[in-house]
Amino acid sequence: MSDLTDALGLNAETDYARRPPVRWSQPWSSGVVRSLTALGALLVGFLLSAGVSVGRQQAAEQGARKSELIALIDARQARADALAEQLERLRGRVDAAQAAAVNPAVPALRTRLAAVEAATGLTALTGPGVQLTLSDGTGTCPAARPEDCRIQDVDLQMAANTLFALGAEGIAVNGERMIATTAIRSAGSAVLVNYRVLTSPYVVAAVGNAPALDQGVRVSALWDDFEIWRDVYGLGISLEQADEVVLPAFSGSVRVPTAADAPGSAP
pLDDT, tens only, 8-24 = 555 555 555 555 554 44
User: When comparing pLDDT for 247 and 257, which is higher?
Assistant: 247
In this prediction, residue 4 carries a pLDDT of 54
Contacts of 103 (CB under 8 A, 6+ apart): none
pLDDT band at 112 (very low <50, low <70, confident <90, very high): confident
Q: Among 91-100, 155-164, 200-209, 245-254, name the one with the lowest average pLDDT.
A: 91-100
Confidence check: pLDDT of 2 > 60: no
In this prediction, residue 158 carries a pLDDT of 96
12 backbone dihedrals φ, ψ, rounded to 5°: -65, -30
Quote helix, strand, coil % in the chain, to nearest 5.
50, 15, 35
Q: Among 8-17, 169-178, 199-208, 240-249, name the one with the lowest average pLDDT.
A: 8-17
User: When comparing pLDDT for 56 and 150, which is higher?
Assistant: 150
**Spatial contact of 217 and 210, defined as CB atoms under 8 Å apart:** no
Q: What is the mean pLDDT of residues 65-79?
A: 83
Confidence check: pLDDT of 224 > 90: yes
Confidence check: pLDDT of 103 > 80: no
Confidence check: pLDDT of 237 > 80: yes
User: When comparing pLDDT for 119 and 210, which is higher?
Assistant: 210
Using CA atoms, how far residue 256 sits from 120, 180, 259, 260, 261, in Å, is 14, 11, 6, 8, 11
pLDDT band at 138 (very low <50, low <70, confident <90, very high): confident
208 backbone dihedrals φ, ψ, rounded to 5°: 165, -160
Query: Looking at beta carbons, which pairs linking 153-158 to residues 24 or more positions away fall under 8 Å?
Result: 153/184, 153/185, 153/186, 153/191, 153/192, 156/184, 156/191, 156/193, 156/202, 156/204, 157/184, 158/221, 158/222, 158/225
In this prediction, residue 23 carries a pLDDT of 45
Task: Output the average pLDDT for the chain.
Answer: 81
In this prediction, residue 47 carries a pLDDT of 78
187 backbone dihedrals φ, ψ, rounded to 5°: -135, 95
